[in-house]
Amino acid sequence: MNALTNLFNLPAMMRGGAQMKALAGPLLIVMILGMMILPLPPFILDLLFTFNIALAIMVLLVGMYTQRPLDFAAFPAVLLFSTLLRLSLNVASTRVVLLEGHTGPDAAGKVIEAFGHFLVGGNFAVGIVVFAILVVINFMVITKGAGRIAEVGARFMLDAMPGKQMAIDADLNAGLINEEGARKRRAEVAQESDFYGAMDGASKFVRGDAIAGLLIMFINVAAGMVVGMVQHDLDFGTAVHNYTLLTIGDGLVAQIPALVISTAAGVIVSRVSNEQDVGQQLTGQLFSNPRVMYITAAIIGLMGLIPGMPHFAFLLLAGGLIWLGRHMSKREVQATETKAKEERKPAVAAEAAEATWEDVTMVDPLGMEVGYRLITLVDRGQNGELLGRIKSIRKKIAQDIGFLVPVVHIRDNLELKPNAYRITLKGVEIGSGEANPGQWMAINPGQVSGTLQGAVTRDPAFGLPAVWIDANLKEQAQAYGYTVVDASTVVATHLNHLIQMHASELLGRQEVQSLLDRIGKEAPKLTEDLVPKTISLTGLQKVLQNLLDEGVAIRDMRTILDVVAEQAPKISDPSELTTLVRVALGRAITQQLFPNNADMQVIGLDAGLERVLSQAMVNGGGIEPGLADALLQQAQGAVVRQEQMGLDPVLLVPAPLRTLMARFLRRTLPQLKVLSHAEVPDNRNIRITAMIGGAA
């Protein structure tokens, strides 16, 4: 019955556990203050000293096994609490030593007695020397070095924050990450800055602890001699022996955990972040080259042959190094032979096998070819980031436009320039460029305050002027107002731009069928009678491609299919169906062009030009060449004026003229979006900021 009661009270127990975790900090502070104020018996001191040693070892091991400093972000707070714990133990033990030290060396507990007798042989002179050495090692070497590393790390982290924030913004604008990913990366940057700043300050606690340990030792020895000789009538030799050994034992019990904690601080701030802990880094990098083992063995062996040297120790170590080097060499040879066998197997199989349909190479829908110097960008073994960014691009595009583009197949091409790449669509090149791994592209957005030294180029995605610069000029470029991105971001942004430009060509019958299957799972009645009874799969594909050609996302497939299902029995022309679908999607199209319900500042058509174009449509003769040239020139001028005012170029025309104007202007002015009055919701305000045809 009690077991059942406990089982049903499990949520309450879990809440109680969470509350205990929340009370851990205040309870620890209360315990530390209590140790400073209340007298503690020797047995409790033994337990607390043992806990202090165990805590130091735990902190060191956690620091050794973390892969990034932020994995142990609580370390500065742990450093503060452990220092307070040691100081409170010093106060508690000092009270016991001065009160009970006359009774013998075990007056303050077995732990202090063991450190005072066993570790220094009961010799207080040796204990003083050992204690002083530990304090010097802790204060002058480990703590000072760790504090300096933390100080420099905090300074460089603060200097690099603007660049990291701009890199996050660049990845977000390029579609490589979403808002959630950007927030997470910004939080990590802020946490890194806070961590190194906190470590810079927390290292001062350890230095202060070392100084306090020295002062406490001298105070305990002097005060103990006075107390022993004056209050307890001890002779000088007995007082010096008892109180000095107790003080040395107390100091060693405190300084050894302090040394361990300081070592943990040095490990955390001095390591380089990667996917390995400190132990894996040491064994993987220090013992990876057999030639190092052979050369070291030769030097140690020669030193061991010098007369007067301990031959056995030197020659034994030299023999061990030679054995380790031979073992490493054999392992390398085996790995090379295994790799060569695996490479020969496909070649032998290819020679023996007959040609089959599997040998027919299909054209990749999307492909990328890179020169040999760009292989590092796509090689995971060399920390290449481009593959991960391409995956993020496909996911972002799927979320934005409404379907999943094909996988990008990447291969090297020795016929390309070493730093060149090209992007292909169904085997045909649609874009190319060059990237310099290890350098940064500083893109001029139009308003910069200085010039940079480097290779002048242009951003391959948008054609903006740019300069390839070295990494040491990155902060200077950002200060001048340049947008600075690395080589992987340059290639990824170019690929993202080209995919969006050619989205309609990437939407094949298979993708349309996948969309229908996806909608059919959620709304089966919407799709069961649509294809092929109402419209063919090819007809629906053409409607969707028309929308993508005009930059309209197809995420709202329910609305699209509702309109097609209603109008397709009466209208078979995909262009007319596209026009009706655009009207149904008008609110979304308008929101995409003019977010936040802002006023629609658009380009308009002169009334006289509208009549001329409407008459041309009625007659079926098209736009006259002279009128076409004048219309194109005025449209280009209107687009320039809109862009100078910081507005998106959008042309608002009557519904019958929208398709004609969109087709006429699409090739020359792809950035100009053509919107019809029928697509504008009734609650949106329209402002004409430029006019086409007024002076024609």
**Dihedrals φ, ψ of 442, to 5°?**
-95, 110
Q: Is the pLDDT of residue 370 over 80?
A: yes
Dmax of the chain from CA atoms?
127
* 581-586-589 Cα angle (round to 5): 105
pLDDT at 2: 42
pLDDT at 26: 75
* pTM (global) more than 0.85: no
Q: What is the mean pLDDT of residues 49-78?
A: 77
pLDDT tier at 649, thresholds 50, 70, 90: very high
Q: What is the mean pLDDT of residues 326-350?
A: 68
* Structure token pair of residue 67: 């892969």
At which residue do the structure tokens 């390309």 appear? 416
What homologous superfamily is domain 366-502 in, according to CATH? Answer: FHIPEP family, domain 1 (3.40.30.60)
Residue 234 vs residue 451, higher pLDDT: 451
Q: What is the mean pLDDT of residues 221-231?
A: 72
pLDDT at 6: 45
**Cβ pair 569, 563 in contact under 8 A:** no
pLDDT at 142: 67
Q: How many CB atoms lie within 10 A of CB 548?
A: 21
Please tell me which of 53-62, 216-225, 290-299, 448-457 the model is most confident about, judged by mean pLDDT. Answer: 448-457
Q: Is the pLDDT of residue 121 over 90?
A: no
pLDDT at 348: 47
CA-to-CA separations, 296 to 310, 313, 317, in angstroms, rounded: 17, 14, 10
CA-to-CA separations, 476 to 96, 158, 163, in angstroms, rounded: 61, 15, 10
> Which fold is adopted by the domain 593-696?
Rossmann fold (3.40.50)
Burial of residue 389 (number of CB atoms within 10 Å: 0-12, 13-18, 19+) = buried
Q: Is the pLDDT of residue 274 over 60?
A: no
pLDDT tier at 259, thresholds 50, 70, 90: confident
Q: Is the pLDDT of residue 4 over 50?
A: no
pLDDT at 527: 82
pLDDT at 1: 40
DSSP 534: I
Q: Which of 462, 86, 84 is nearest to 254 (CA)?
A: 86
Residue 337 to residue 129: CA distance in whole angstroms: 57
Q: Is the pLDDT of residue 505 over 80?
A: yes
pLDDT at 522: 84
pLDDT at 368: 93
pLDDT at 283: 61
**Cβ pair 122, 245 in contact under 8 A:** yes
Q: What is the mean pLDDT of residues 30-36?
A: 73
- DSSP per-residue codes, 63-84: HHH-SSGGGGTTHHHHHHHHHH
pLDDT at 543: 93
pLDDT tier at 436, thresholds 50, 70, 90: very high
pLDDT at 312: 76
Class of domain 507-584: mainly alpha
Q: What is the mean pLDDT of residues 670-695?
A: 87
* Structure token pair of residue 619: 């007659």
Ranges of each domain in the chain: 23-273, 287-337, 366-502, 507-584, 593-696
Query: Which residues are registered as beta bridge partners of 458?
Result: 465
Please tell me which of 250-259, 312-321, 330-339, 536-545 the model is most confident about, judged by mean pLDDT. Answer: 536-545
Q: Helical H runs in 141-277?
A: 144-173, 179-226, 236-270
**% of the chain beyond a pLDDT of 90:** 20
pLDDT tier at 22, thresholds 50, 70, 90: low
In one-letter notation, the amino acid at residue 366 is L
Q: Is the pLDDT of residue 346 over 60?
A: no
**Cβ pair 430, 424 in contact under 8 A:** yes
**Cβ pair 283, 143 in contact under 8 A:** no
pLDDT at 5: 43
Residue 591 vs residue 83, higher pLDDT: 591
- Least confident segment among 155-164, 258-267, 485-494: 155-164
pLDDT digits (tens, 9 = 90+) for 145-177: 666 666 666 666 666 666 677 777 777 666 667
pLDDT tier at 485, thresholds 50, 70, 90: very high
**Cβ pair 373, 419 in contact under 8 A:** yes
pLDDT at 367: 92
Instruction: Compute the chain's Rg from CA coordinates.
Output: 38
Q: What is the mean pLDDT of residues 560-584?
A: 91
pLDDT tier at 13, thresholds 50, 70, 90: very low
Q: Is the pLDDT of residue 224 over 60?
A: yes
Measured N-to-C along each axis, helices 124-136 and 236-270 cross at an angle, to the nearest 10 degrees, of 20
**Cβ pair 47, 104 in contact under 8 A:** no
